[in-house]
Amino acid sequence: IFVFLVETGFRYVDFEDDDLYGQSVEDDYCISPSTAAQFIYSRRDKPSVEPVEEYDYEDLKESSNSVSNHQLSGFDQGKPVDSQTSRSESEIVPKVAKMTVSGKKQTMGFEVPGVSSEENGHSFHTPQKERLIEDAIASSDVLETASKSANPPLTVQASEEQSSTPAPVKKSGKLRQQLDVKAELEKRQGGKQLLNLVVIGHVDAGKSTLMGHMLYLLGNINKRTMHKYEQESKKAGKASFAYAWVLDETGEERERGVTMDVGMTKFETTTKVITLMDAPGHKDFIPNMITGAAQADVAVLVVDASRGEFEAGFETGGQTREHGLLVRSLGVTQLAVAVNKMDQVNWQQERFQEITGKLGHFLKQAGFKESDVAFIPTSGLSGENLITRSQSSELTKWYKGLCLLEQIDSFKPPQRSIDKPFRLCVSDVFKDQGSGFCITGKIEAGYIQTGDRLQAMPPNETCTVKGITLHDEPVDWAAAGDHVSLTLVGMDIIKINVGCVFCGPKEPIKACTRFRARILIFNIEIPITKGFPVLLHYQTVSEPAVIKRLISVLNKSTGEVTKKKPKFLTKGQNALVELQTQRPIALELYKDFKELGRFMLRYGGSTIAAGVVTEVF
């Protein structure tokens, strides 16, 4: 072989050594993987190879002259011939074998015998120089024995099929998944339906204690953890706050004794998986409460039955009224009213009826149907009537209804918008371990799978979903209604803020600074005029805005225009206005996406109006 190479003017090149100097074995003057594979497997089909001596020497000489006329790179000129002839054949063979798979992904471990590249419809045009090297090496028995004893590299036919087929296979898999999403939703969680529940009410009504005790009774909090909370709360001088610490996790919340941010956790009932959101009751943290209520399907309104406490929360300035209006304006239609701390009034039926009478009348005015509101007497601290019906004779003699857990279990889950384009509102952004960053939020519409491309609005940036986490468990897909954490790659974390909306690149959400809306004015002291500054709360966004135009006053029931271009708006009126925000926000029309078409307007620390988007500019 080497004599032949020397005579024909070729130099054997050690590719592995030269590769140290920055040269690539994928350059076009090395043996291509296709040619090598074609040669190796055609040898098996035809074991008898023509000896080198049968070649016409003149033809070889002619061909060598034609090749030598081409300009040789430093790669070809770098090695003396004598140094190669001293090399043993056993050293050469592995280098040639390695060279044959250098251009493709190396997938070892199986072979495809007797398949030539031409059988698969591929034809390869190799340089004359390469063919001469092939034929020269072909006459060696060493290569034949090496290819039989060692695992041969994968043929080009198999590797090219691998590189060309993933795109259509992935696409068909996605189409199949799209058809199966509803079926998969039914199978998930053992067939249990998902429900998002927000707990609202006046400050110190006992919301966190009520839900913390319920979680403990359900077994979501173990006895050891609960004992630790009891000891720590005693040391802090807040022994009665032990159950509240289950949901109030930060040091500041525990020190002040008030919930500040929305605490989120999960528990299961007989037929449902509940995502629980514990909203703050203090008026300073109403924006956080709006964020929680905007992501909820149903609500539990907690009121304090103590003398004077219920009145403080229900009268003007109390959060019981405002929270009730807010959740109704944000699309919650089913409500359970937990009349808490009933043990402090000795489970009096008269007090319970007094509260239900006042509150029931107000909730009916706010837009709740009587059939969708349930009143349940409870005690968060003692745990009475939470997960099992009370055995206390003082309560059972006049109350025969459901306990709180049974009432939650009886809520009807809303219709999920799985068939609509994907929409997710960001409620938190953080950097996690590994590449990329994480966002959390509720999927309002559509569904998502790992590997999907997403577009963030208003930044108008695209990224890829690397991972999906639902209830602290990694999953391959998630659908409308799920509170998920997404790991994203391909985008800078600086460009994403709380309030951004992620959507599919094919059907993106609109981003704008001006839009028209139909608003309902609540109780306000001063009239709303052109240029009135407000704080716009939309999903997880809190954005300063200005009412630019007062277009018309509408009839509450029919929606007909009763007055065009009014000078001002007063409480109780229904009007069409135009708003302008300082920065772009991503909005959907109410008629297209009810979940993404609602917003609230606040001014001077109180909610002054609720509205729906009718037109985007």
Strand 477-479 and strand 437-445: the pairing is unpaired
Q: Which domain-ending residue is among 378, 410, 442?
A: 410
E strands, 393-482, where?
423-430, 437-445, 447-449, 453-457, 461-470, 473-475, 477-479
Is 18 part of a structural domain of the chain? Answer: no
Please give the structure tokens belonging to residue 38.
Answer: 């074609």
Residues 518 and 562 in one domain: yes
Structural domain boundaries enclosing 201: 186-410
Is 45 part of a structural domain of the chain? Answer: no
Is 191 part of a structural domain of the chain? Answer: yes
DSSP label of 415: P
The whole-number pLDDT of residue 508 equals 92
Please give the structure tokens belonging to residue 217.
Answer: 């009774």
Residues 459 and 516 in one domain: no
Residue 3 CB partners (closer than 8 Å, separation 6+): none
Residues 375 and 449 in one domain: no
Residues 395 and 427 in one domain: no
Q: Which domain-ending residue is among 503, 534, 569?
A: 503
The whole-number pLDDT of residue 528 equals 94
Residue type, 29: Y
Residues 587 and 482 in one domain: no
Is 606 part of a structural domain of the chain? Answer: yes
- The 3-state secondary structure of 154-222, one letter per residue: CCHHHHHHHHHCHHHHHHHHHHHHHHHHHHHHHHHHHHCEEEEEEEEECCCCCHHHHHHHHHHHHCCCC
396 φ/ψ angles, rounded to the nearest 5 degrees: -70, -20
Is 72 part of a structural domain of the chain? Answer: no
C-alpha 195/C-alpha 265 separation (Å) is 12
Is 128 part of a structural domain of the chain? Answer: no
Task: Provide the 10 A C-beta neighbour count for residue 479.
Answer: 22
Residues 322 and 470 in one domain: no
Please give the structure tokens belonging to residue 2.
Answer: 């080497």
Q: Which domain-ending residue is among 503, 525, 550?
A: 503
Residues 574 and 493 in one domain: no
DSSP label of 588: -
Closest CA to 339 of 404, 287, 295, 284: 404
pTM across the whole model: 0.68
Decide: 440 and 484 in contact? Cβ < 8 Å.
Answer: yes
Is 339 part of a structural domain of the chain? Answer: yes
DSSP label of 257: T
- The total domain count for the chain is 3
In sequence order, the β-bridge partners of residue 442 are: 425, 483
Residues 208 and 284 in one domain: yes
Residues 447 and 552 in one domain: no
Residue 195 CB partners (closer than 8 Å, separation 6+): 272, 273, 274, 275, 297, 298, 408, 411, 413
Provide the 3-class DSSP secondary structure of residue 126.
Answer: coil
Residues 361 and 480 in one domain: no
59 φ/ψ angles, rounded to the nearest 5 degrees: -65, -40
Residues 456 and 552 in one domain: no
| CATH number for 458 | 2.40.30.10
Query: Measured between alpha carbons, how far apart are the two ends of the chain, in Å?
Result: 78
For residues 201, 204, 210, 215, the Cα torsion angle rounded to the nearest 10 degrees is 100
Is 528 part of a structural domain of the chain? Answer: yes
DSSP of 501-536: EEE-TTSPPEEEEEEEEEEEE-S-SS-EETTEEEEE
Residues 397 and 373 in one domain: yes
Helices then strands, each counted (H, E), the chain: 20, 24
The whole-number pLDDT of residue 474 equals 92
| CATH number for 320 | 3.40.50.300
C-alpha 315/C-alpha 416 separation (Å) is 36
Decide: 574 and 289 in contact? Cβ < 8 Å.
Answer: no
Residues lower than pLDDT 70 in the chain:
1-180, 189
